Chain A
Amino acid sequence: MARKSRGQTKRAHPSVEQALDLPEILRSGVPHIELQGNAELSLDGCKGILEYTEESVRLHAGALLLSVGGSGLCIRMYSEEQTVITGDIRQIALEPVTA
């Protein structure tokens, strides 16, 4: 019997989550994104950076790919828990991760 690796959380059955009417944010794999005006974006649960230039940042955020476009973009903080991007943010795009 395979043992579950450390850090891997057991996800409740979708029907149970639906029955309990849990908010989307509590579901595993769903990133939490906060935007303060167009100057700061914080993302909880970033899995990695896919692309980083002065004008765009693409982040792997679990079930989604987050693209941030703008100018003078700076990764103010980057850790497994939280990523903060500051700068003149002009666009944000979300795409589902395809297998």
Chain B
Amino acid sequence: MFIVVLVRWLLGYVSFAGEGGFPERFINLCVKARIPLWDLRREDGRLTGKTTIRGYKRIRAVVRRSGVRVHITGKQGFPFWRARHRRRVGLVVGLAAAALVIACLSVRIWTVNVTGNTEIPAETILAAAEELGVRVGAKRSSLDTNAIAEALLDNVEGLSWAAVNIDACRAVIEVRESTPAPEILDTETPSNILADEDGVLTKVEVYSGTAAVKPGSAVVKGDLLISGVVENADGSETLHGAQGNVYAQVERDFSFSCPAAPFMRLGASATRYSLFFFGLRIPLGFSPGEQIYTVERYLSNDEIALPVGIFRERAEAYNAEYTLESPTDRARYAAAQFASCYAALWIQSVILETHLTFDYASENPSVTGTVLCEKEIGINQQIFVEKISD
């Protein structure tokens, strides 16, 4: 029914009222003359109804034969609307522009999304796809999706499968990542495990090779901990890749204070905004300089971002010197530095004891002390062997 109403509106129609004569004859004659009628009503002896513009033009002969006096009560539809607004050029231009924009934009890509990736960043895949022509504003008909999918596999390392699906104005790049081959432990190359730093050994775990030290021994950096040379039962020796873990108590000295050299902070900065419309970037001002970072904001709902937005480019120079004047700020700086270092040590090792002195009353506050921690100190070092043929 909506289509009928739409077609009638597009072609235009006339509401009329008829009085006197023979209304039934009038209706029958109209149908015989192929004059379409609808919404016919009888109200207080009057006949009201609607007909097309062409139908009303042909109604005179029917009126004469039926004796019904007919007059127009209303004109509806696009032809009448157009006639009323024919002097409004802007409206016509706007409608034409809207039709043109819709016609142009419906053949282009609006959004490009990536699905199925877990390790490889979507930005990497999008950058590779952009090089292959899959970008916002690209013509849909110009994209050979099969060729692009194959090229993506070549260009992006770590992909095992890729497909480019064009769904209306959206391009969806579906990918599957390849499973990386497991790391093969090298047990063939002869090697020793040496101490990476000074400490007192707490635990020695040997998986391959011969232990050269025992728990409780004190070692210095470079000492042999596990030897790759293994003595066989017959007295001969063979070379292996030494494997194992050697843990030791290690002491760390800390000393943090605020440096005398000035810090650098944000000096000059400049910002430029750009309008983004279907791949076209319109800068609103001069370039802010070098080393810029860009914040892109698109028109979007929660699911889909349209290729329309505003970009903010900002260049910042950290060239203004400053020093921490107050002792409180200096103390806070020293404490923050210590906290950061202590947290890193806590992640790498097991902290056993901490002895600290926080001198915050002096002019230059400082944090000094030692931390005793247990950590793995062994590092692998290859044994270079010269093969002598018989």
Contact = CB atoms under 8 A, between A and B. Distances in A.
Contacts of A53: 42
B28 A54 contact: no
A54 B44 CA distance: 8
B23 A52 contact: yes
B37 A78 contact: yes
Most chain A C-beta atoms within 10 Å of own C-beta, residue among B23, B40, B47: B40
18 contacts: A48-B24, A48-B31, A52-B23, A52-B27, A54-B41, A54-B42, A73-B42, A74-B39, A75-B27, A75-B39, A75-B49, A77-B38, A78-B31, A78-B37, A78-B38, A78-B40, A79-B31, A79-B36
A73 B41 CA distance: 7
A65 to B, nearest CB: 13
SS of B interface (majority): strand
By secondary structure, the A interface counts as strand
A76 interface: yes
A76 B43 CA distance: 15
A21 interface: no
B42 A52 contact: yes
A75 B37 contact: yes
B62 to A, nearest CB: 13
A87 B36 CA distance: 20
Task: State which size class the interface on B falls in.
Answer: 10 to 19
Contacts of B43: 54
B24 A52 contact: yes
Top 7 nearest A-B pairs (CB, nearest first) are: A75-B40, A48-B28, A49-B24, A54-B42, A74-B41, A77-B38, A49-B27
Contacts of B24: 48-52
Given A48-B31, A52-B24, A75-B40, 4 more contacts: A49-B27, A50-B24, A53-B42, A75-B38
Nearest to A51: B24
A75 B41 CA distance: 6
B39 A76 contact: yes
A78 B47 CA distance: 14
Nearest to A50: B24
Interface in A38-70: 48-54
B31 A74 contact: no
Contacts of A77: 38
B28 A49 contact: yes
Contacts of B31: 48, 78-80
